[in-house]
Structure 1
């Protein structure tokens, strides 16, 4: 029902603008939890091409509890990895894979291939999960990717 509601919001209510086409597939995670991969083809007039537009609809930061208590807490987050958890699914042959952990960056930008690198400011916020502080880690300078 939630997926149907989201699809309706995207197509009928035009949450991101006029949708020319929509494709989705539902998968189940290791613990059996379903999730959907959704691909939207927006009308050219509604395509998101500026970082400002991305920041209006996507946030990759831990919210401030005073401003967004509803968004804070039990949310989907990448768990501890690296030295804290060498058996994490993101670890392959003792190294990080899948671009985790993500780096801090003050502004959203696009990399050389056109993918958005979302704003993740180093604001000191964290969520504690299994007695480990979950934050975004800095691996390299984002300016090198976005130049």
Structure 2
């Protein structure tokens, strides 16, 4: 049901822009609900062409708890990676003492593209933290998200910009 509503948000309501094509798969696991992996192709005029465009749609920062309590709550609840690393070496993402998802990410005052064309999202050192199992997590641990989708669907929704 949520998937149908979300697909309608993408294809009819154009929450991320007008969609030219969409492909998705369902990943059936032995635990929890099956996640969907969705790739959207946007019409040329709606593509996110600048880092400013990307920052207006995708965030990798903890919202200010006072200015945006709803955003803070959903990011804290659904979009924090970890704790892993030395704080939790038995975390499922760990392999040979390293996080396979490359968290914590480095702080960055701006979004930029790496040499391979991947977006490295803005993660400023804002001093905002989320406490998870007694460990303080900051913007280096935020999984990229779209605030509107996150608030509406109240679940983990990782949103990434792709240029391939």
Structure 2 match to 1:145: none
Unaligned runs of at least 5 residues, structure 2: 142-164
Unaligned runs of at least 5 residues, structure 1: 139-147
Structure 2 match to 1:53: 53
Structure 1 match to 2:62: 62
Q: Which has the larger radius of gyration?
A: 1
Relative to structure 1, is the Cα distance of residues 29 and 120 closer, same or farther in structure 2, using a 3 angstrom cutoff? farther
The worse-fitting range, judged by mean Cα deviation, of 22-31 and 102-111 is 22-31
After the TM superposition, which segments of 4 or more aligned residues of structure 1 sit over 6 Å from their partners? Answer: none
Is the CA contact 1:22–1:39 (under 8 Å) kept in the aligned structure 2?
A: yes
TM-score (normalised: structure 2): 0.77
Quote the RMSD (CA, aligned, Å): 1.8
Relative to structure 1, is the Cα distance of residues 103 and 29 closer, same or farther in structure 2, using a 3 angstrom cutoff? farther
Structure 1 match to 2:93: 90
Answer 1 or 2: which has greater helix percent.
Answer: 2
Q: Select the structure with the greater relative contact order (CA < 8 A; seq sep ≥ 6).
A: 2
Answer 1 or 2: which has greater strand percent.
Answer: 1
